[in-house]
Amino acid sequence: MKNEVDAERLVEARKLFFDHDGLTSIMARKGADAAYRLAAVPEDLEERWLIELTSMKMRDLSQAGNWKVVRFLRQHNDFTHTRSLMETGPLGELPEQTAYLEELLAYAQDFCKLYGQPLTHHARIVATIQQHAKSIRESTGDRTLRVRLEQLLAEASHLPEVPPVRAMPEGATRPGSQKKNGGAGVRIDKLCNAFYANISVLSDSAITGAAARLIKPKQSGAWIGGRLVVTDQRLSFAPNRMKGEAALRIEALDLPLAAVTAVKKEFSLMTGIVVVEHEGGVLKFRCFGAKKIAQQLQNLLAAR
């Protein structure tokens, strides 16, 4: 009987998940979150549902009103479809096309806020937004719509520039460079945020641009964007380039893999958190696919 009840609850939970875009925040607004929580949906099953739901949403990208697809991806912090978003472009009535460009701009801004650096196709995103926005502006006499487009163009022109390639110390290798040379020992190479507990009450002058928005005033500690690289021997994190006083306080993290004592995955509303316990303390990394990264690290530890 219990198994039948659990199965019924999962069927109901799946319907709630798909009806509310996989977001408990929407369920809560409509009073459906209690029923969903009651089902106690396993995390791996939720991940499979989200993959299926995303695939369904992406099929709507070629339809009028496709701005809703971009919003869905933003709500789930899914930045894996950038090329498709640019190649498809805005569809529908002019207000719908404008909404698409607004969502695409917010998509790029969200990535900067989360990782402290621009998307890989940053320049093309800006060009796409500007090209379509100017075309729509020339085609409409709607004053309200033209104001939206002018604001959109102004914001697009102020997206952060792609940072220059950072100079490396003599004899050092850039994270991920071994991977390109046959993957010599590189097991994990991942964009993520690392938690720096020693940073607190940083002013806007200490960290500038998108990275500053990651840090709330008067909080103890901050998530800093960068790249996590794990080889057979070492675990390292290289923070993104920053300016001013912050650059002096944010150092690269590096420790031998032999010093790691335990790895676990913590739940987080936005992205999962990988917790790495070592002989000298604890490191935390926030990233997409945290469960997989934690499992890879656990496998490396088990193989020692």
> 19-70, pLDDT tens digit by residue?
999 998 899 999 998 999 888 888 778 888 988 999 999 999 999 999 999 9
Tokens of 32: 């459906």
Q: Which residues make Cβ contacts (< 8 Å) with residue 128, sequence separation at least 6? A: 86, 89, 104
- Inter-residue contact 199 to 186 (CB < 8 Å): no
The C-alpha atoms of residue 140 and residue 142 are separated, in whole angstroms, by: 5
Q: Is residue 219 part of a domain?
A: yes
Same domain, 103 and 128: yes
Beta-bridge partner residues of 287: 272
Q: Indicate whether 190 and 295 sit together in one domain.
A: yes
Bridge partners (DSSP) of residue 272 are 287
Can you read off the two tokens belonging to residue 270? 């936005």
How many structural domains comprise the chain?
3
Range of the domain at 244: 177-302
Q: Are residues 298 and 202 in the same domain?
A: yes
**Whether residues 150 and 134 fall in one domain:** yes
Q: Are strands 186-200 and 220-231 parallel, antiparallel or unpaired?
A: antiparallel
Q: pLDDT of the chain along its 304 residues, tens only?
A: 455 557 888 999 999 999 999 998 899 999 998 999 888 888 778 888 988 999 999 999 999 999 999 999 999 888 778 888 988 999 999 999 999 999 999 998 887 776 566 666 677 888 889 999 999 999 999 999 999 999 999 998 876 554 433 333 333 334 444 443 334 478 898 988 898 876 543 333 333 344 444 434 444 577 888 889 999 889 999 887 654 444 445 778 888 888 899 999 988 766 789 999 988 789 999 988 898 999 999 888 887 6
Asked whether residue 167 is domain-assigned, the answer is: no
pTM summary value = 0.57
Same domain, 78 and 52: yes
Structural domain contains residue 233: yes
With CA atoms as reference, report the closest residue to 108 among 144, 159, 67, 143. Answer: 159
Number of Cβ within a 10 Å radius of residue 227: 20
Taking the alpha carbons at both ends of the chain, their separation in whole angstroms is 45
Helix-strand-coil split of the chain, %, nearest 5: 50, 20, 30
